[in-house]
Structure formats: structure tokens, C-alpha cells
Structure 1
Amino acid sequence: MDAPISELARDIDAACRLSGEFTLRSGLISSEYFDKYRFETKPGLLRRVAEAMVPLLPTDTEALGGLELGGVPIATMVSSLTGLPTLFVRKEAKPYGTRKLAEGDDVAGIQVTLIEDVITTGGAVRNAAVALRSLGARVHTVVCAIDRSDPGHNILDTIELTTVSVLTKSMLDAAHE
């Protein structure tokens, strides 16, 4: 791991890893919790993550698709660094107004690179990619800040979606030691 990435891993781990008693989404109780919003709400850390994402973007990217909720601030920052337009991709189309799934310009025929904060199983990213493809977008890559998936548990390759990450769970764990 090069120095800037190891420093980023250390700083994100220090900001986001909490100790205490936490009920996880699964219902299990854990003595440790990773609060991703603690880096997304700190402008300095958010910018460093976005800067690390820029070189990971496929060269054919025409728009960034920030996934609700955590991917939106990161995609906005990456957009400000690259000049690429941003889409805000909802978990489901809103049932009123424009009834859009992706806020921003029309996605038909556009090469969209998805931006996500943390991937654990890939379910939300898979749903977004499938939905955007049904609207005519071309989607082949998701760039995430942190890939926390266990080997063999990221389902995105089953829909031909490549995952590229700035950091992994093992990198954060190594920074914590």
C-alpha cells in the first residue's frame, strides 16, 4: 500500500471506527461499528477520497451515478474535480413529480460510472445498475470508497459490473493495528 493510501486508510479508520455496543442491520450485537458518514461529512476526508477515485474512473465515463445516500456527496466531489456531470440515483423512482430514478440529465445512451461509499454485498449497487440499464444507460463499473465485501460475496460480477475500490476492509484493519 503506497503512503498516501495508507495514510487515507489510517485517517478514515480513525474517524469512522467506533467502539461500544451497536445493533447491526442483521440484528446482531457488535462491539465495533464503522460509521461511514463520519468521513463523508468531513470536507477534507471527503475530498481525499474523491481525489483517490479520480484516477480509478474508466476513461469512457460520461456521467457519474452517485447512489443514494452515501454515494451522492462523493459523486458530487468527484464531479467538481473532473467536470463530469453527476446523477443522483435513488433506491427506487419517486412516485410523484418527475418520477425519476436518476436525478439529472437523461441517461439513455450514456456511459455511467456508479459511485458508492461502501460495498458489502453489492445488492444496492446491483439494483441501481440494472435499473439504469433498463433506462438505456451503459453501466460497467462501480468505483467505491471502501469495499468491505468478503471474498466471493460481492455479487456484482454476476451482472458484468466491475468493482474498483480506493480502500478495502483489510486495508482499514491493517491501519487500525
Structure 2
Amino acid sequence: MSIWERSGGNPRDIQFDRTIPNDGRTMDDFDSRSSPEKFTEKQQILIRHLFRSCIQFGNFQLTSGRESPYIFNIPRDESDGVYLILAQECANLMNRANPDIISPVPTASNYIGELIAERLSIPTVYVRIRDIDQEGKLPVDGFREEFSGRRAVIFDDAATTGGSIRLAAGGLRAEGAIVDTAIVVIDREEGAQEALEKDGIRLLAVFGAREMFEYARGAVTQMGQRILSDENYEAAIRHLDLYARKPT
């Protein structure tokens, strides 16, 4: 049984086309700055789910070393069909980049990356970004000789400064892969886009942090409860204003 089927996915419920854009949009329509009122019904469902299960507020230190009032983490829950919708949104972006290979950044993004790869019927490779060998190279698990010269698209759950994505790109390029696109669920809008552009990588995101928080501020559950408090909204916006799109 496939990952998609174990997750409760039904191909009749989630339509996907490998070559034709589902909604007619182009790559230029996908950046981190679309306005909240443009969210589709599925995207609105996703935002509510992300705030319920994937976004935590408090005092955290990110992988980049920065302190943040919130973190984003995708739990591996194969029983939750909402993750299929999330994988579908990511796959729509991924499909437009014409990938030959998907490279999820270990380990938080592996599950969604596996779902995307299965839907697109393309292989995955994993750059072990914390395991530099004696020659200064990063091991790339699953990479085969015939992948040299092919386009690898990097997938991560979130981008802050772009450091992890740049490391993964370096490992893939050292093996001969072409890397010009990275896709994330959330662009935290703290400099990753600009830093990656300097490295020849275009960052595409399902959601930008600011638009996501702006939408969530006024959203409520079916029980009428707000999904984001004023206190957490203000903390997130202060953080965004402090680091907004400033490369480090």
C-alpha cells in the first residue's frame, strides 16, 4: 500500500495532473506575497489546521540560531487527511518547476516530501546537511549517477534565512544536479528569498508568514473560537517587522 493510500488519500477526491496546471496559474503567480483574500477554500482549511497542529507560540531558538516567538513543525500523522491537501498544494508548486528529483531537507519535511514524490512519480534524494565528510562534501543518500545533469527541487517545511536549503543545494550541485528552485510550506520572510536568489535559487512558498498571520487573526473555528490570539498575532508581527526580508 502506498504512503498516499495509508494516509487515507483517495485519487477520486484529489485530482492531480502531472503536466497541466490545475488552476491555470503560472510560476510567477507563486511567491510569498499573495494577499490573504486570494486564499482558496483548501488553503483556508490548511491555515486553520496549521495553527491547530503545526504552529506553536513561546520562546524558541530556530535552526538558524535566531530566537522566535513561534515555530512551525509538521508532525508525521498518516491518519490526518489534511496533510494530503498540504501535499497537493506543495505538489502543484513542485510540478511547475519541472523536477526530475525531489530532495526534502531532513528530517521535518520528509513525510510531506515523500507524499509529493509519490504523487509526481519521481525519486527522492536526501542531503545529510549535518554530516560533512573528510573531503568537505555532504553525503547525498539515494543519488545515482544518472541523476547528474537532472533538475533537483529542494523541499522544506519552512525557510528562515535559507541556510539549510543552501547547504542542500551545495550537496546536490557537487553531485552534478541542477538546482534552481526550492519549495517550502511557509516562507518566514526573514531573508531566505533574497539569500537564495543570490545563490541562483528561486524560493516558492505555499504561504508567506505575514499573509498567514493576517488571515488567521480574523479566522475562527466551527465552534466560533479564534485560532490566533491578539497577543500571539502581535508577537509574530513584531518579529516579522524586526527581520522582514533582511538577509544575514
Global fold match (TM > 0.5): yes
Structure 1 match to 2:119: 81
Residue 11 of structure 1, CA deviation: 1.3
1:138 aligns with 2:178: yes
Distance 1:123 1:45 in 2: 28
Contact 1:93 1:101 (C-alpha < 8 Å) held by counterparts: yes
Residue 165 of structure 1, CA deviation: 0.8
Distance 2:203 2:101 in 1: 17
Equivalent AA in structure 1 for residue 216 of structure 2: H
Gap regions ≥5 residues in structure 1: none
> Once the two structures are superposed, what CA deviation does each residue of 1:104-156 show, in whole Å capped at 9, x if it has no partner?
13242221011111001101101211221121000110111111123686410
Equivalent AA in structure 1 for residue 61 of structure 2: L
Distance 2:159 2:209 in 1: 10
Larger Rg: 2
Structure 1 residues 22 and 59: CA distance shift in structure 2, 3 A: closer
SS at match of 1:139: coil
TM-score normalised by L of structure 2:
0.61
Q: As a proportion of its length, which structure holds more strand? A: 1
Equivalent AA in structure 2 for residue 42 of structure 1: D
TM-score normalised by L of structure 1:
0.83
Contact 2:138 2:171 (C-alpha < 8 Å) held by counterparts: no
1:56 aligns with 2:93: yes
1:164 to 191, 204, 209: 204
Residue 42 of structure 1, CA deviation: 2.7
Structure 1 residues 169 and 156: CA distance shift in structure 2, 3 A: same
Structure 1 residues 77 and 152: CA distance shift in structure 2, 3 A: closer
> Once the two structures are superposed, what CA deviation does each residue of 1:53-98 show, in whole Å capped at 9, x if it has no partner?
11112353111011111222221110121111111221144659xx
List, as ranges, runs of 4+ consecutive aligned residues in structure 1 with deviation greater than 6 Å.
none
Structure 1 residues 23 and 105: CA distance shift in structure 2, 3 A: closer
1:117 to 149, 157, 173: 157
Residues paired across the two proteins, number:
170
C-alpha RMSD of the superposition: 2.5
Distance 1:165 1:121 in 2: 14
The equivalences for 1:92-107 within 5 A come to 92-93=130-131, 95=133, 101-106=139-144, 107=147
Distance 2:56 2:120 in 1: 33
2:109 to 71, 82, 85: 71
Structure 1 residues 159 and 35: CA distance shift in structure 2, 3 A: closer
Gap regions ≥5 residues in structure 2: 1-38, 218-248
SS at match of 1:42: coil
> Once the two structures are superposed, what CA deviation does each residue of 1:22-62 show, in whole Å capped at 9, x if it has no partner?
3424475x6x432413xx32333432221101111235311
SS at match of 1:110: coil
Identity percentage of aligned residues: 20
Distance 1:45 1:154 in 2: 31
